[in-house]
């Protein structure tokens, strides 16, 4: 499969992740009387990855996330030369999804972009008011564990065919833990889309949702290479 087609597949997959995950947060989380809440949003993010893993995993590997792509490079599962193309495609997919979500959400009377469009944040923009330091550590650790789950579930020694379930549920658990802290990123493309639409504070704080997940990806990749290495 050509790099162009695989990158385009990553664009589509990341579009679905941001539209499904952030869309559930913006449109359904607090919907009157039947809102899905934090639990529902967490499952929505997990389901986007699970469904796309089955749909496109055999085409592009279903990274949907610059941190995942980097973690797979560090873990020895993905060629570094293809990393830029994947990251560009993922970010474009995230931006398109955020723009579409804004168009849909703004169709409701009284909608205000000040609500954040599911943007990630810390300090006064953290859902629970958590500090920048707490948010940074949370994003780093959650991303490292996500990479560990991905590398382990897709290891040739792992049970065949079950990786999408483990990865999807892993992302669900990560959201259950960290939505109150940062609104959960662990994915720079997911963070960039809404931030570019919201502007202002969301762009000012976006740096952390690139730096922490990418550092976490390196930690997770290095850790699994050591843990998973077969000893002679």
Can you name the CATH fold of 3-227? Glycerol uptake facilitator protein (1.20.1080)
* Domain residue limits, the chain: 3-227
What pTM was computed for the model?
Answer: 0.95
Residues 6+ apart with CB under 8 A from 33: none
Which alpha helices (H) appear in 61-162, and where do they start and end? 66-74, 83-105, 132-153
Quickly tell me which residue has 């730096």 as its tokens.
211
Contact in structure between 176 and 42 (CB atoms under 8 Å): yes
Backbone dihedral angles phi then psi of residue 2, each to the nearest 5 degrees: -70, 155
d(CA 43, CA 116): 20
d(CA 180, CA 130): 8
Give pLDDT tens digits for 220-232.
999 999 998 877 6
Quickly tell me which residue has 């629970």 as its tokens.
128
Give pLDDT tens digits for 134-188.
999 999 999 999 999 999 999 999 998 899 999 999 999 999 999 999 999 999 9
């Amino acid at each position: 499969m050509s790099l162009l087609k695989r990158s385009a597949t990553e664009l589509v997959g990341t579009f679905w992740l941001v539209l499904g995950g952030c869309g559930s947060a913006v449109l359904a989380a607090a919907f009157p009387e039947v809102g899905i809440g934090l639990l529902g949003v967490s499952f929505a993010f997990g389901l986007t990855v699970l469904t796309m893993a089955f749909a496109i995993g055999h085409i592009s590997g279903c990274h949907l996330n610059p941190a995942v792509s980097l973690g797979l490079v560090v873990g020895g599962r993905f060629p570094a030369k293809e990393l830029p193309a994947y990251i560009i495609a993922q970010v474009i997919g995230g931006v398109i999804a955020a723009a579409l979500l804004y168009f849909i959400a703004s169709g409701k009377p009284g909608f205000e972009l000040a609500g954040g469009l599911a943007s990630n944040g810390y300090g006064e923009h953290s859902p629970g008011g958590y500090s920048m330091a707490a948010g940074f550590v949370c994003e780093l650790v959650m991303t490292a564990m996500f990479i560990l789950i991905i590398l382990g579930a897709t290891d040739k020694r792992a049970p065949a065919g079950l990786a999408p379930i483990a990865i999807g549920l892993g992302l669900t658990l990560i959201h259950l833990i960290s939505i109150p802290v940062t609104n959960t990123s662990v994915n720079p493309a997911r963070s960039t889309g809404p931030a570019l639409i919201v502007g202002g504070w969301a762009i000012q704080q976006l740096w952390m949702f690139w730096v922490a997940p990418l550092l976490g990806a390196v930690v997770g990749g290095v850790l699994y290479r050591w843990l998973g290495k077969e000893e002679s």
